[in-house]
Amino acid sequence: MREAISVPYFGASLKEWLFTTDHKKIGILYLSTAYIFFLVAGFFGLIIRFEQTSPGIQLVQPDFYNYLLTGHGAVLLLWWAIASHIGGFGNFLLPLMIGAKDVAFPRLNALSWWAFFGASVLVLLTLIPGNHIKMMWTGYPPYSASGDAGVTALYVFIIHLVGVSSIATAVNFITTYIKMRAPGINFWNTNMFVHCLIAANVIQLVGVPSLAGAVTMLLLDKYLGTNFYNPAKGGDPLLYQNVFWFYSHPVVYVQILPVFGFFSEIVPTFARRPLFGYKSMIFAVWGITLLSFEVWIHHMFVSGVPDWARVIMSYTTILIAVPTGIKIFNWIGTLHGGAIILRSPMLYALGGIFMFLIGGLTGIPNAMVAIDLGISDSLFIVGHFHYVLGMALTLGLFGAIIYWFPKMTGKMYPENLGKVSFWLTFIGANLFYFFQMVVGMLGNPRRYPDYPPIPEWVTLHNIQTVGALILGLGVLVFTIGILKGLFAGEKAPDNPWQSQSLEWQIPSPAPVDNFGEEHPKVEPDYHPYKYGAPPVF
């Protein structure tokens, strides 16, 4: 037993990794899997972009194009945008930030990982010709119930397994926070990442069953002949859309709330100032959580829903911009008067906040029915959500990887590669998605592999492809940085950023038993953002 404890958690054998119940190992397993799938889905995205560079069919047939779109969307949303920061960073950081030895139910945590792994295997099966799923990540009937949509059962089982993993994780994390905090850690001195993580898991707990129900009825319609969504036999396809979006709009906040947590950890550390408006930030996070279930119909403004429903959801959609704006104001307030240090995690955090701001501002018109009717299903929508979710989230995650790299590996991420990858990613993403919104405003619809040879459209698509190549190069440099840091990185000190947060008060990499047998001693005036003096790094 003593020998096992003396082995650093990341130096364990393959068997120990596969059968582990250690929250840190499980977090890294989630993060590694999500990153590999992110690279594959990004490659799918590059093929989609190359196909659209010029009018006409260039590289792939429309049927395969549908598969690429489905895989790109589903994998980025479910693997990269949820599993990486909830399964990955949530597992690694939650016990460390609250002074706990592990999560409340370690074996349930391992089961969550294996359910997620099972879903990952099913995704790999869709790569086999004949197993392609082609109904987009939304799986709308009646198309998804037809033979042209591919193997709908695989889509449904993937959702089921990811759902099992998500619910088990949510139960575990919420219980861990309520029951396992170290004495002295309370609601008002908890890290913002933990607040955001718990709020996201409350959404998961309430919302995932509705998605599971929606796709289960889809499975029954296609394979057992029921008629939940078949209008020819009394069913209603809009029933699916309502149940689907009841969860799938709040899931936007499941994906972005933990990233807000990353920003809130990184910005005070590198501005050397307490997080401005900490308590208002907590109220904002829980306000978003509550309102997130009151806006789903804005995804269905063109679906023939009643006017009164469109008006109500238009108001609630605009209302949710208020707590969102509070957070951006607070991050800027934290920077004001700070001794700002532009290390690569800070660059990624500031870049992510900028991308979210652009995505948020371009989202407000979508909340207005009169405008949304004109731009719905255009590439403007695609550019908008790649700003607000795709790149704000990715920049936040990249910053988080560099920031906590020392605590996970005991090595430093190469700073020069961090800065180069940031500028490439930031410039490439803005070239790509800004002009994608412009071509959408000019009327280019989404989801089609081909478009008419309109000169303005062709020029704008060419610019997007240049942006995508620069963005892809940025991701490649970032990945090289991970490998270089792992195998040849400089040894990390215990607290390289001189953070006040609990996870930085233990050795790097984190010991197998975190804080030892006892809870850490938390001083009465402890706060994770109690900054003042400039750092020496």
Position 417, amino acid: L
Q: Give DSSP secondary structure letters for 175-202.
A: HHHHH-PPTT--TTSS-HHHHHHHHHHH
135 SS3 class? coil
Q: What is the pLDDT of residue 168?
A: 97
Q: What is the dihedral of CA 166, 150, 388, 248, to 10 degrees?
A: -50
Average pLDDT value for residue range 192-199: 97
Q: pLDDT tens, 271-287? A: 999 999 999 999 999 99
The two most distant CA atoms of the chain are separated, in Å, by: 71
- Residue 147 is given by DSSP the state G
Question: What confidence score (pLDDT) does residue 76 get?
Answer: 92
Residue 533, pLDDT > 80, answer no
Q: What is the DSSP letter of 388?
A: I
Task: Give CA–CA dist 262/200, Å, rounded.
Answer: 14
So what's the pLDDT on residue 510? 93
Residue 1 has pLDDT above 60, yes or no: no
| Residue (of 154, 150, 115, 124) closest to 135 by Cα position | 150
- CA dist., res. 461 & res. 468, Å (int): 10
| 3-class secondary structure, 308 | helix
**Under DSSP, is residue 536 helix (H, G, I), strand (E, B) or coil?**
coil
Please give the pLDDT value at position 418. 98
CA dihedral 71, 74, 79, 81 (to 10 degrees): 130
What burial class does residue 184 get, using C-beta atoms within 10 Å of its C-beta: 0-12 exposed, 13-18 middle, 19+ buried? middle
Q: How confident is the model at residue 156 (pLDDT cuts 50, 70, 90)?
A: very high
pLDDT-derived band at 116, boundaries 50, 70, 90: very high
Structure tokens at 322: 């208020």
Domains of the chain: 18-504 (1.20.210.10)
For the stretch 410-461, pLDDT in tens is 999 999 999 999 999 999 999 999 999 999 999 999 989 999 999 999 999 9
Per-residue pLDDT tens digits for 71-90 = 999 999 989 999 999 999 99
Residues in CB range of 46: below 8 A, 6 or more apart: 468, 472
pLDDT in tens, 469-526: 999 999 999 999 999 999 999 999 999 999 999 999 999 999 988 998 778 888 888 9
Residue reference for tokens 């023939």: 304
Q: Report the alpha-carbon angle 219-220-222, nearest 5.
A: 65
Residue 536: pLDDT band (50, 70, 90) is low
- The whole-model pTM stands at 0.94
